Amino acid sequence: MTMRLPGGKRQLEAMKRALAQPFGGRLGETTVVSTSLHGVDGRRPGEVAIFLAHDAGQVFYGRRRRGEVVHMDVFHEVGAVSPRAVAQSVKEALAAHCSLSPREPSLLDLVDIQTALGGGRLTGSLTFGQKLSLRRAHAHHVHLALLWPVSAWDLLPLVTESAEEAIVRAGLELRKVEQVLAYGKEGDAPLDLSPYADASDSWIREARREEADPFSLALWLAEKAGGVEEALSLLQGDGRHRAAFPWLLQRWPLLFSWAEGGWEASDLGRTVRRLLLDRRDLIRRDLAGQRRSSFPSRPGRGSWGPRGRRRQVGPRVHGSWSGVAPAETFLGAWKKRPGKALPLQADDLQVVRRLQVPPLDWVILIDASASMAGSRMKAAKELVRHLVRKSRDRIAVASFQNREVTFHVPLTRHLGAVEKGLEELQPAGLTPLAQALAEARSYVERAGVSRPFLLLITDGIPTVSRGQRGPLEDALAEAEELGRRRIPFTCIGLEPNRSYLEELVRKGKGRLYALAELEKNALLAIARVEGQRVRRTFPLLFS
C-alpha cells in the first residue's frame, strides 16, 4: 500500500482521517507521519516503511490504547542537528499560532525529540538520548513523538515546517521521501528496538500501577505538598496549586494522563488519591514522625527493640543508669530470702542500663550510567527510602555518571530531604567508578563521619579514567585506598561482572554480592545483613 498525506492546511481533515484509521503517510516532501512505527531501509533510502502492527505509543511508551502518539520523522542528509535548535524552532512556531503558558503543562511538554546529537522532552534539558546506537540511528532524520489530542493535529504541518527550518539553518539539505509503504499484520516480524532504548525525561509514558508503590508515593506527595489535604488538591486538579503543578508532573508523570480536556489523574493517580483519603490519619502520623526524627533525641530516652536499644539489668553500681527494674528487684530478693522478700533492702535494688547499638552513616554510591535506567534505578531508590523510614541511621546518596560525581543527599534522617535529592537522580552516560570512590572517601573524611559504611550499587564496570592508568586500574587503586583507610565497603553488582568486582572488593577489603539482576527485595535483604554486620564492628554505647 502506498500513501501520501497532503501538506499544508488545505486538506488537514484528510490527514487526520489517515492517521486515525490508523495509517499514515508523507506530510509535505520530507516528513513521514503515522501513529505506528516507521523506518528506512538502508538499501532504499528514499523509501519509508510503516509497520501498522506496531503502535508507536505502545512500543515506545508502554501505552495501553493505540493511536494516541503521533510519530514524525523529518528526513535530511546525513549530519548532526541540535535538538535544542529544533525545540526552539517548534516553540516559536507554536507560540505564534496558539496561546501557551510557560508556567503550566501544555502541548509543548508532550513532545519528544531525538537527533544525532541527543534529545529528550521538548521543554526539558534535551541532554538525554546519548546512547551511541540511538544517535547513529538518527543521523539522517529528526524524530518527534507527540501525545496530542486529535483536536491539536491541525498543528502537525506547522511542526514539520519548523523542524525543516532548523535543519536548513544547521547547513544540511532536506531529503525528499519518494515512497511510503505500509505493512499490515500479515508477515510482520518482531522488531528489535534495543538500539533505541535509553534514559529519557519524557512525560508521554503512561501510568502503570506496578511501576510504583502507591503508599510510598502518597506519603511522598503529602510530605512534598505540605500535608494530606494539599496533596489531594493536586490530584483533584482544583486549580489551587497551578504554580506548583509542573514540578509534580516532572517528578511523577505517571500520576497523570492527557485527555481531550487537559491533564487528569491516571489509574495510579486515582489509587494514590484513594490512599490519601482512606489512610490520611496514618500518613499524618508518619509525617509527624519524620519531623520529629530530624531532631536529636535526648540520652536515655526512647523505645527499645527496632530502634537498636538493648536493656541491661543489674545491681546498682557507680555509673549511668536510667531507672529501677521492679520485677527483677523483687524476684532477686525472693530468691535470696524465700517467703521474706519484703521489706526490700538496699542491696536488692536492680537498675536498668540501656545499651545502645550506634547508628551507621551510610554513604550510598549509585551508578547513574545509562544502563541503570528503569527498574534498576527504581530498585536503588526504593532501598534508600526503606533505610530512611526503617532505621535510625543517617543516609547520604551520591551518583556517578560521565565524569561527574554528585552528592544528591547529604547525611540525613529526613525523608523529605532524601526524596528531594532522589528527584535529581537521572541515568545517562558512562561509569566513572574511580572518581566516585575517591569522592566518597573524601566525603567521609570531610564530614567527620565516625561510623561510615560505603555501599556501592552498580550494573557495570568502570568506563571512564581518572588518571593515566585506565578506568579499571584507576578504580582498583581507589578501592585499595578505601581498604587502607579501613572504611567498611560493600559492592552490589551483576553476575557477568563478578571477576572484576571480586578484585575490586579484595583491594578495598570489602564484600561483594553479585546478582542476576538488581531487584528491590534483593537489595533490601543485602542491606539488612550488611548493616547488621558492619554495626557489630563498632563499640556499643551506654546511654
**Cβ density class 241-260: b for 16+ within 10 Å, e for less:** beeebbebbbbbbbbbbbee
**Cβ density class 320-337: b for 16+ within 10 Å, e for less:** ebeeebeebbeebbeeee
In 275-326, where do the E strands start and end?
A: 309-315, 323-324
Q: End-to-end alpha-carbon separation of the chain, Å?
A: 81
Query: Per mean pLDDT, which of 118-132, 256-270, 360-374 is the most reliable?
Result: 360-374
With a cut of 80, say whether residue 270 has pLDDT above it: yes
Residue 317 confidence (pLDDT): 61
Ramachandran sector of residue 262 (left: φ over 0; alpha: ψ -120 to 50; beta: rest) = left
Residue 316 confidence (pLDDT): 65
Average pLDDT for residues 95-119, to the nearest whole number? 76
The 10s digit of each residue's pLDDT in 237-254 is 544 444 445 566 656 667
The 10s digit of each residue's pLDDT in 509-540 is 999 998 888 988 889 888 988 888 888 776 54
Q: State phi, psi for 487 to the nearest 5 degrees.
A: -90, 115
In 163-245, where do the E strands start and end?
A: 179-183
Q: Identify any residues that bridge with 26 across adjacent strands, giving them in sequence order.
A: 32
pLDDT band at 152 (very low <50, low <70, confident <90, very high): confident
Report residue 412 CA to chain centroid gap.
Answer: 20
Higher pLDDT, 47 or 457: 457
CA proximity to 398, closest of 380, 416, 371: 380
pTM: 0.50
The 10s digit of each residue's pLDDT in 40-68 is 765 566 788 888 888 888 888 888 788 88
Average pLDDT for residues 148-170, to the nearest whole number? 89
Average pLDDT for residues 217-227, to the nearest whole number? 78
Residue 543 confidence (pLDDT): 39
Higher pLDDT, 342 or 275: 275
With a cut of 70, say whether residue 491 has pLDDT above it: yes
Average pLDDT for residues 98-104, to the nearest whole number? 54
CB 58 within 8 A of CB 64: yes
The 10s digit of each residue's pLDDT in 469-486 is 788 999 999 999 999 998
Grid cell in block for residue 68: 494516541
The 10s digit of each residue's pLDDT in 203-212 is 887 766 555 6
What 8-state DSSP symbol labels residue 259? E
3-class SS letters over 12-51: HHHHHHHHHCCCEEEECCCEEEECEEEEECCCCCCEEEEE
Spatial separation of the C-alpha atoms in residues 54 and 183, rounded to whole Å: 10
Higher pLDDT, 418 or 352: 418
Average pLDDT, the chain: 78
CA proximity to 60, closest of 234, 254, 202, 270: 202
71, 188, 373 from 380: Cα distances, Å: 33, 38, 11
% of the chain exceeding 90 in pLDDT: 23
Tell me the helix, strand and coil percentages in the chain, rounded to 5: 40, 20, 35
% of the chain exceeding 70 in pLDDT: 75
Spatial separation of the C-alpha atoms in residues 510 and 512, rounded to whole Å: 7
The 10s digit of each residue's pLDDT in 21-40 is 666 788 888 888 988 888 87
Residue 308 confidence (pLDDT): 41
pLDDT band at 306 (very low <50, low <70, confident <90, very high): very low
Higher pLDDT, 41 or 506: 506
Residue 457 confidence (pLDDT): 96
Higher pLDDT, 267 or 8: 267
452 upstream amide cis, omega within 30 of 0:
no
Grid cell in block for residue 210: 506496578
Residue whose C-alpha cell is 497532503? 6
Residue 186 confidence (pLDDT): 46
Instruction: Classify 228 as helix, strand or coil.
Output: helix
Residue 381 confidence (pLDDT): 93
Average pLDDT for residues 177-187, to the nearest whole number? 72
